[in-house]
Amino acid sequence: MKYRVNEIFLSLQGEGFWTGTPMVFLRLSGCNLACPFCDTDFTAFKEMEADEIVAELLNVAGECRRVCITGGEPLLQLESGLVDALHRAGFTIHLETNGTIEAPDGIDWITVSPKAGLKLKKSNELKLVFQGSDEAYIEGFRSFDAGNFFLQPCDTGSPENSAAILGQCIAYIKSHPWWRLSLQTHKLLGIR
Ligand code: SF4
């Protein structure tokens, strides 16, 4: 099978539970949603077989053996053959998904960032984009089977609006302390 690969690069995880952890990122092209706040350019792609992807990941990873598969929506493409090939190469596999498509078995850490109806039943981490203190909407996700719950303030509006959303998010977490704050630290640091 040929995968449509948008980019492969080594960086630090910027968001959520693993913030600051070195990972090699595999961004797959394409998404099944069109969120108005989307800030990811996942359109361009190069077609690659699973063994070519693993070779390129090893080439850029140095001694890092954590891969984060992201998108777009990576579950449009991800199949067990690539999962197995990555494990054989020694990688621990992280996945970032909108949760609307079932995942193959064997993924070591799943982060769900819900934007539409969820098909996935559980994840290690749920990371919700915070756009305002809509308590009924936000708390509706607490019944999802995730080990960790994060709110991430939406920062794609004007600087003034982003600052206001951040303030609301912090206030919300203070009064709903089962949530934790996730920031897009790679943007704050100016790294990829
Ligand atoms: S699900 Fe994610 S990648 Fe897809 S359009 Fe929405 S924000 Fe962008």
Report whether residue 115 contacts ligand 1, using a CB cutoff of 6 Å. yes
Q: How crowded is the C-beta side of 106, counted as CA atoms within 13 Å?
A: 14
Give the range of the structural domain holding residue 175, as residue numbers without chain letter. Answer: 2-189
Report whether residue 33 contacts ligand 1, using a CB cutoff of 6 Å. yes
Q: What is the pLDDT along the chain (192 residues), one digit of tens a residue?
A: 999 999 999 999 999 999 999 999 999 999 999 999 898 999 999 999 999 999 999 999 999 999 999 999 999 999 999 999 999 999 999 999 999 999 999 999 999 999 999 999 999 999 999 999 999 999 999 999 999 999 999 988 888 999 999 999 999 999 999 999 999 998 888 888
The rounded distance, in Å, linking the Cα atoms of 1 and 77 is 9
* Total of domains in the chain: 1
| Active-site residue list | 25, 31, 35, 38-40, 96, 186
Ligand 1 centroid distance, CA of 43 (Å): 12
Contact present, 64 and 10 (Cβ < 8 Å):
yes
Tokens matching residue 79: 């199949």
CATH code, domain with 138: 3.20.20.70
Q: What is the pTM for the complete model shown?
A: 0.95
